[in-house]
Chain A
Amino acid sequence: MIGFLAFAARRAAEGLWRNRVMSLAATITMVLMLVLLASLMIILSGMQAGLALIESRVEMRAELFDGVAQERVEELTRQLTALPEVAQVSYVSKDEALRRFRAQLAAGGHEDLTEVVGANPLPAQLVVRLRDPKSFGSVRQTLASPAGVVSRIVDQQSSVDRLVSITSWLRVVGLIIIALVGLTVLLIVVNSIRMAVMSRSDEIEIMRLVGASDAFVRWPLIFEGVIIGALGALVTLGLLSLAAGPISQLAGIIAVDLPVASGGRLATDLILVISGVGVMLGGLGAWISVRAYLGSPQAR
């Protein structure tokens, strides 16, 4: 068995070297496709992280009418807290709302215009934090039910929806692009192995003549495809490890934690996916080619 593997690997290496231009072309296309795949994974992962970040901050605000009796507000708070989809309800008084608004303006570098207005124009609010941002349940209904308490309900659902739709759109488009490039890679590997089959057709004829079993004829060729895939994956991962630092920095700027550096979860996923896809695509291409150009096992 070890002898067989050594034989197959030796002949595969020989074959790759003999058709080195074609092997190189196949490897480069493989790298291109794997880099695209890795980029999509990183971008999607970033979007996912961003989405999780935003979603974790999703809350509903209910602006209250001025001068609502405190006990009515407390009653509503109790009702909301009792709902299963609500994580937390907090009360923001008119003064607190104004203080936060001023702080927000100051942080944004804007002039404080609230000084101009004599009275505090901001309403008191109930801030409702949901357990799952996607399920409102009867929160909205509960907020609206007591007459004369809540004047307006503000939520960020629309912005979350937009981000979710961008992410899924990107995923679809990305996967289509990768499928197309993957198909191209497959065809190039098929062609590369076809060249290998043709360039050693004399050897294959002799192998069959002297009684080589099918495995000895086929596996070296399939190994060639696998090696192309593995080399492509190796180069891609090399490029990624060089880019990991800058990518993490960039992600840090937009306040997203991307575990792309070595040891991170995304890094592990990338290594597994890139090597797996590379090796499988190379092997599959070679297998298709061997099947097409050598016929089914023992056709002769």
Chain B
Amino acid sequence: MIAVLDEAHAPDAKPRPAVDLRDVSKVYANGRQALAEVDLTIPAGDFVFLVGPSGAGKSTLIRLLLRDELPTTGLIRVGSYEVSAMRSRDVPRLRRHIGTVFQDFKLLPRKTVRENVAFALEVTGSPRRLVSTAVDRVLELVGLTAQAEQRPAQLSGGEQQRTAIARAMVHQPRVFIADEPTGNLDPLISWEIIRLLLHINDLGTTVLMATHNAEVVTALRKRVVALDEGRVVRDAVGGYHGSH
């Protein structure tokens, strides 16, 4: 155990992976097996696509990483967080370590872009004087400085997703998880979002993106992890769904 803890400080040690799953299985109460013996290591700074048909286990995998659910068996680690064994009260810190966006944006309709982003800081107890500068910084990152005072309904789909990305980035997460971020967007706008995610990755954040967007996956030639019926059926660079 001590040797494991000291690994990071050993001179020839590899850096700690951003995400590490060992033999992870998830069986739901109704008996459905959502994940089976999944091994997956994502080094820090990588950009990884997670693909597979609906029901393959992509969403379950993301929920396990966010500790929305616990695995039935196996070990899950995100950065220094032992996700599968952590105490409940440490979960909020894990969630600040991971930025997350979804297909449906999950913005608050009554709040402006600025307020939506600031909300993530306010509810985690950030001092008010720091909120404003932090929000300005991420709005600049996603290119929404001019739209800061608009409400979600006044924005295009792409702008709404960029607002969600800004909110996910405001805690400066080490890992960024995007679950079908372009699912509701047309192709041109989708590329805008992908470029933004690539930029975030360039800045040093590990990105895991679940998607059905074959065009994007094929074009980018990044690492692709394919799931089918809860198992990793392919883990290689480039191509969508290996069989194509």
Residues of A within 8 A of B (CB): 3-4, 7, 202-203, 205-214, 216-217, 297-298, 300
A210-B123, A210-B171, A300-B68 known; A3-B106 Cβ under 8 A: no
Number of chain B residues whose Cβ lies closer than 8 Å to a Cβ of chain A: 25
Q: Would you call A7 and B122 a contact (CB within 8 A)?
A: yes
A208 touches B95 (CB 8 A): yes
State whether B95 touches A4 (Cβ < 8 A).
no
Q: Which residues of B contact A212 (CB under 8 A)?
A: 92, 123-124
Q: Please pick, from B68, B106, B127, the residue contacting A206 in the complex, using a CB distance under 8 A.
A: B106
Contact with B119, one of A4, A206, A208, A213 (Cβ below 8 angstroms): A206
One digit per residue, 1 when the CB lies within 8 angstroms of any chain A CB and 0 when it does not, for chain B 66-105 equals 1010000000000000000000110111111100100000
| B88 and A297 within 8 A (CB) | yes
Q: Using a CB–CB distance below 8 Å, which chain B residues touch chain A?
A: 66, 68, 88-89, 91-97, 100, 106, 108, 119-120, 122-125, 127-128, 167-168, 171
26 A-B pairs with C-beta separation under 8 A: A3-B128, A7-B125, A205-B106, A206-B108, A206-B120, A207-B123, A209-B106, A210-B95, A210-B96, A210-B120, A210-B168, A211-B91, A211-B93, A211-B94, A211-B96, A211-B97, A211-B120, A212-B92, A212-B123, A212-B124, A213-B125, A216-B123, A216-B125, A297-B88, A298-B88, A298-B91
Q: What residue of chain B has the Cβ atom nearest to residue A206's Cβ?
A: B106
With A207-B123, A300-B68 already in contact, the answer to whether A213 and B106 are too (CB < 8 A) is: no
Given contacts A210-B96, A210-B123, A214-B92, 7 further A-B contacts (CB under 8 A): A202-B106, A203-B119, A206-B120, A210-B120, A211-B92, A213-B89, A298-B88
Minimum CB–CB distance for B103 against chain A, Å:
14
A211 CA to B68 CA in the complex, in Å?
Answer: 12
Given contacts A3-B125, A205-B106, contact A210 B167 (CB under 8 A): yes
Residue contact A202 to B123, C-beta cutoff 8 Å: no
